[in-house]
Structure 1
Amino acid sequence: MNLRNRIFASGRRRYFHIWDLDTGKVDKVNGSADRKEEQKSMERFKVSPCERYVGLVGTSRKGGGMINVLDSGTAQWIAQMRVDGRGGVADFAWWSDGEGMTVASKNGEVSEWDGRQRRIIARWLDAGAVGNTVIALGGQSGRNQLGGDRWVAIGSTSGIVNIYDRREWAAAAVASAKSNVPAQNDDSTQAGVPRSPTPVRVFDQLTTPVSHLVFAPDGQMMVMASRWKSDALRLVHLPSCTVYRNWPTSNTPLGRISSVAVSPKNEQLAVAAEQGRIRLFEIRG
């Protein structure tokens, strides 16, 4: 099955559609009858990088939230990830190997969910978080732990973006496994993840709620943007974690940003605006 030839489309409904580009057939997928109260809307979803799963943010419940995981081929429910805390799920990101996800709650807590074990293996706090809005993973740590992703970036309602380097976490997980030390639930480590990690860098260039965080496929650049203010977009160089000062300029016509994407070969940056235009920029290394 090649999901690159299929389009998943959803809205504020109890169902979504799958359009097969090869055959032209459009299938309507209804939610599970026994989970109607947990999944009243399917508008917030993400397909895993391995193309095997679809994660759907469930209806928020008092004191927490949930993500239902479906098989992308059969659309059958296979697992559920639950988080505690006020406000429910702000956003989530699949690990690059598709075998788990990192989930940001609106109250500042972040959960690492391992899909193979079907459980949360670590919980940690985003430093100084005041209403998380979006989360993204990028780069490669060089290890298999936590999906192999090096960077995790988290945006908030205040416009602050924290970025963390997960390489040390992955190394700590390996050391813990070799010494047969069980995961701890105190303020030290849980599967190698610190309970209160320190960000590598705190970005304060945006002044309105962060709506978009996108890593380039090669992990050498991150885009952060806010749809709540015109031209609110900045580029971050990695691994130095420095913000580019020469672009965008005051004359770059971005408008109110509605979507951002980087091409698979890191050659173009596409920025869509609420005015209905998509501008394509060349990325020069």
Structure 2
Amino acid sequence: MARQDELAPSHGVDGNQQPEKDAMEMELERLVLGNSAEFKRGLKDIDEDKALDLALALEDLDDEALFTVDRGPADNDLMEIDGEDDEDQERGQAAWDDSDDGRLQVSLASQPRLRKLRRTEAEDFVSGKEYMKRLRKQYEALHPPPKWAQDAMNQPRKRRRLTNDNEAEDDDVVSGADPLSVLLQNSESLVRTSGPGTRRRLQSGAVNVQRAAGVPGVQPSAITSLSFHPTLPLLLSSGPSSTLFLHQIASSPPEPTANPLLTSLHVRNTPLTTTAFHPIDSRIFLSARRRYFHVWDLHSGRVEKITRVYGQQHVQRSMERFKLSPDGLYMALLASSKKGGGEINILSASTLQWIGQVRIEGRGGIADFCWWRNSKGLCIAAKNGEMSEWSVESRSVIVRWQDHGAGGTTTTTITLGGRHNLSGFPLGTDRWVVVGSGSSTGPGVVNIYDREKWARNHQQNTSSPPIPPLPEPQKSLNHITAPPSHLHISPDGQLLAMATRWQRDALRLVHLPSCTVYPNWPTSSTPLGRISSLAFCDGAILPHQDILTLLAIGTESGKIRLWEIRPNS
């Protein structure tokens, strides 16, 4: 038993128990780790210090500042949402914009992964542009841009100074890649500002023609309708392919491609015959050999279909040929009925409602018609060569006259152009009226009449008719051996282009007022092809100062070639 007592633990504790800490060990542990009593006392001291600081800070506040009343959503909450547009403006203008994004609708509630993009639980559909904006914001929240990119974005933008000091504040420079709405809204930057001085005149004898870069690409059909915008460098073209094309007239450089395509519109099963810019607003009118026509608003992108002319359905079975008045108030629509010779329905260009009708007598029906320059009347040519002058004010034909040498021929086309400044003449302010006719066996004939001479005679004798029944033309031209199909006068009234689609390379330029044909152009090597359409552009809206006018030629093969008419050196 004594042996067992000697083997027992000397401290009288179990072998698994820790030995008791001596005084020195406990003091070191307190100094390094502290104890629970001191930790709780430290927290209490911190809370008391914060409470004392808060109490001292609130002593200087009024009682009203200590309370807030919830009156619903604050105005600044809404401004934070609208402020996202400001971030997009600071981001800069996009290099390319799809106009369809504004009409696209995306559902945020239909897919679980898109619900995080909603601002409220009830929100569902947003536009395509808003959808892209929220996706971009979500991506930037997950992947912030690096510091070097933030520094580059925070640098001040350099303002580009325009050539005109009055436009120096406008730093938006429109290019061919800009959206069409921006192009139309900032149209002032596209138009050349005319400087002081007199209008430059063309000389007879030789014309200075230089070929310009053509419109890129080949259209899928013949180009039967071609027109320039009256105030913007825009070219409109169309044909039986049912597609309308809109190009910007611009050189390269600065554009990546000369005369870039801005947009196009395809109308199914509608082989277009006539397309035209509205001279005032942003609409384009287009028609075909159908019982309807369309109006395309470039700003909104909306296409409106007009299916009937109320009260005139029996005479308006086709709407393929129309012409808009220069002031943009009226639309003259050639009727399909040939009752009594022919009819033209007059519509309001704004409401597209029928407001009047022109009815003329003439064997074979109406060959062509053209608005007066002041939009107060129409000059209408019957196929037998009888010309009728119709007044919008009186809603009647005020004078009829016969084209010279029209016996045995068929009138094909007419055009008005130029300007006279004689007052009191009841038939508008156009100086020139040009009538083209021809037969299947003889050459084509183009008669040029000077309406200024008629206006001067009418001033001297107001009791006489404004136009004699059988007037003599200023000049008769037979330089085209086929019936002329295209007659166009340049916007400044100094140049006449006459062509026919029945022969290749059949085009001539005529100087006005001398009425002489330029012999030096086109030459036998000029690549004209079979011409299907013509158009002149006013040189004042082009960026180059030394261009008087721009001639566009559309061909049966679907090509558009451009030619610059410059002053003689």
Query: TM class by shorter-chain length?
Result: over 0.9
Q: Which residue of 2 aligns with 1:260?
A: 534
The CA deviation at 1:47 is: 0.6
Check if 1:173 corresponds to 2:458.
yes
Number of residue pairs matched by the alignment: 274
Q: Deviations over 1:7-52 (max 9, x none)?
A: 0000011111000000000111122242111111110100111111
| CA 1:173–1:38: 2 relative to 1, 3 Å | farther
- CA deviation vs aligned residue, 1:114-155 (integer Å, no higher than 9, x gap): 111111110000001111010000111212421100000000
User: Is 2:565 the partner of 1:278?
Assistant: no
Quote how far apart the aligned CAs of 1:63 are: 4.0
- 1:64–1:83 Cα contact (<8 Å) kept: yes
Q: Deviations over 1:144-192 (max 9, x none)?
A: 4211000000001341100000112222333444xxx3xxxxxxx52x1
Partner of 1:237: 511
Match of 2:367 in 1: 90
Mapping for residues 102-251 of structure 1, pairs under 5 Å: 102-129=379-406, 130-144=409-423, 145=425, 146-158=427-439, 159-177=444-462, 181=463, 189-190=464-465, 192-251=466-525
TM-score, structure 1 normalization? 0.92
Superposition deviation, residue 60 in structure 1: 3.4
1:207 positional shift: 1.1
Per-residue CA deviations over 1:89-135 (Å, capped at 9, x if unaligned) read 00001000111010000011000111111111100000011110100
For 1:117 and 1:29, the matched residues in 2 are separated by: 28
TM-score between both structures, scaled by the size of structure 2: 0.47
**Residue of structure 2 in register with 1:49 after alignment:** 326
Task: Please say if residues 310 and 353 of structure 2, whose CA atoms lie closer than 8 Å, have aligned partners that are also in contact.
Answer: no
Q: Any runs of at least 4 consecutive aligned residues in structure 1 with deviations exceeding 3 A, and if so which?
A: 1-4, 172-177
Which position in structure 2 is the counterpart of 1:186? none
Q: Determine the C-alpha separation between the residues in 1 that align with 2:350 and 2:415.
A: 25
- Residue 13 of structure 1 aligns with which residue? 290
> Post-superposition shift, 1:4?
4.5
The alpha-carbon deviation at position 254 of structure 1 amounts to 0.6
- Deviations 1:197-230 (CA, angstroms, capped at 9, x unpaired): 0001001011112110000000000000001100
Task: Could you tell me which runs of 5 or more consecutive residues in structure 2 were left unpaired when the two chains were aligned.
Answer: 1-277, 540-547
2:563 counterpart letter in structure 1: F
Kept in 2, the 8 Å contact 1:63–1:87? The answer is no
Using a 3 Å threshold, how does the CA distance of structure 1 residues 149 and 29 change in structure 2: closer, same or farther?
same
- Aligned pairs for 1:55-70 (under 5 A) are 55-70=332-347
Question: What is the RMSD computed on CA atoms of the aligned residues?
Answer: 1.4
Considering fraction of residues, name the structure with more helix. Answer: 2
In structure 1, distance between residues paired with 2:453 and 2:475 = 16
| Matched-pair contact (CA < 8 Å) for 2:371–2:379 | yes
Residue type of the alignment partner of 1:154: V
Q: Is the 8 A contact 2:279 2:326 kept in 1?
A: no
SS of residue in 1 equivalent to 2:553: strand
Structure with max Cα Rg: 2
The 8 Å contact of residues 554 and 561 in structure 2, kept in 1 or not, is answered as yes
Contact map agreement 2:280 2:327 (CA 8 A) in 1:
no
| 1:246-280 Cα deviation digits (max 9, x unpaired) | 00000011111111111122421110101000000
Q: Which runs of 5+ in 1 are unaligned?
A: 182-188
Q: Measure, in 2, the Cα distance between the counterparts of 1:85 and 1:72.
A: 27
What SS does the aligned partner of 1:171 have?
A: helix
Does the 8 A contact of 1:160 with 1:204 survive in 2? yes
Out of 221-230 and 25-34, give the one that drifted further.
25-34
Deviation at 1:68, TM superposition (A): 0.7
1:153–1:161 CA contact under 8 A, matched in 2 = yes
Aligned residue type for 2:437: S
Residue 103 of structure 1 aligns to a residue in which SS? strand
Paired with 2:410 and 2:390, the residues of 1 have a C-alpha distance of 21
Deviations 1:55-86 (A, max 9, x none): 01111324400111100000011111111021
**Would the aligned equivalents of 2:370 and 2:379 in 1 still touch at CA under 8 Å?**
yes
Q: How far apart are residue 2 of structure 1 and its match?
A: 6.3
Structure (1/2) with the larger strand percentage: 1
Identity of aligned residues (%): 52
Identify if the C-alpha distance between structure 1 residues 96 and 67 changes in structure 2 by more than 3 Å, giving closer, same or farther: same
Measure, in 2, the Cα distance between the counterparts of 1:111 and 1:44. Answer: 18
Q: Helix, strand or coil: the match of 1:81?
A: strand
Query: Is the CA contact (8 Å cut-off) linking 1:60 and 1:87 kept in structure 2?
Result: no
